[in-house]
Amino acid sequence: MSIHPSAVIAPGAIVPDSCTVGPFCTIGPHVVLGESCTLISHVVLEGRTRIGARNTIHPFTAIGVAPQDLKYGGEPTETEIGDDNTIRENVTISRGTVGGGGITRLGSGCLLMACVHIGHDSQVGSHCILANAATLAGHVIIEDYATVGAFCPVHQHCIVGKYAFIGGGTIVTQDVLPFSKTSARRENKAFGVNCVGLERRGFSPERIRALQRAFRLLLVSKLNTTQAVEKMRELEGEDVALLVEFIARSERGVIK
């Protein structure tokens, strides 16, 4: 085990021999680290926090810290992080609250760029990218393979769908459609299918064309959302079915 002499590891913390803990890191008594994690320096891990294997955590990051919620009264809530994540400088991840389910989660294979904030009870999937200063309020859901651009605040209880791409500086106050490009270039709008992102993730041309047909009904036709969804149900493909299901379960409404 490589632990710098200036690091402080509380009795009870679980830190495998394969981990590297750099200068001035602080690890609380209820923290569990997985194999081969690297804490570069000045990292704070608090609360009941479980972190998987092969995560790299950069300086001045704080994980499992108390939620920024005035209702929080010190309850033993949790933070859970998967494997193979890169967490850059000055990231903050708050633990959950009793009223929000009690746990904040981050999946595996994610990149959190500098100054990202993940608020209490948020659920971030796997293979997501949160660019610099993306800010998730409490109770946000980010589904797998989504990208949240730089300086994007996401309102409480919003859902960002799978494979969505949100352009930098977009203020998100409603749900973001899966597979979509959404941006505040002129006003908050969905601008169709995230074709480049889907190609990079291995989507075939046929899958992308099926989604384009669905998005034309939803965004370009003169049909309202209910009428467009009924027409979309007639289209084939699991991706289109996922898109329809996402719209049907949205409680805040979707950005169109």
**Rounded CA gap, 201 and 128, in Å?**
12
Is the alpha carbon torsion for 143, 149, 150, 152 positive or negative?
negative
Name which of 156, 143, 141 is nearest 68 in CA terms: 156
Buried b (16+ CB within 10 A) or exposed e, 214-252: bbebbbeeeeeeeebbeebeebeeebbebbbebbeebee
Q: Return the CA Rg of the chain.
A: 20
- 138 part of the active site: yes
**Which residue among the candidates 34, 52, 119, 138 is catalytic per the annotation?**
138
**Which residue among the candidates 83, 121, 175, 239 is catalytic per the annotation?**
121
**Which residue among the candidates 30, 42, 120, 139 is catalytic per the annotation?**
120
Angle 158-164-170 (CA atoms, 0-180°, nearest 5)? 60
- 83 part of the active site: no
- 84 part of the active site: no
Residues annotated as part of the active site: 120-121, 138
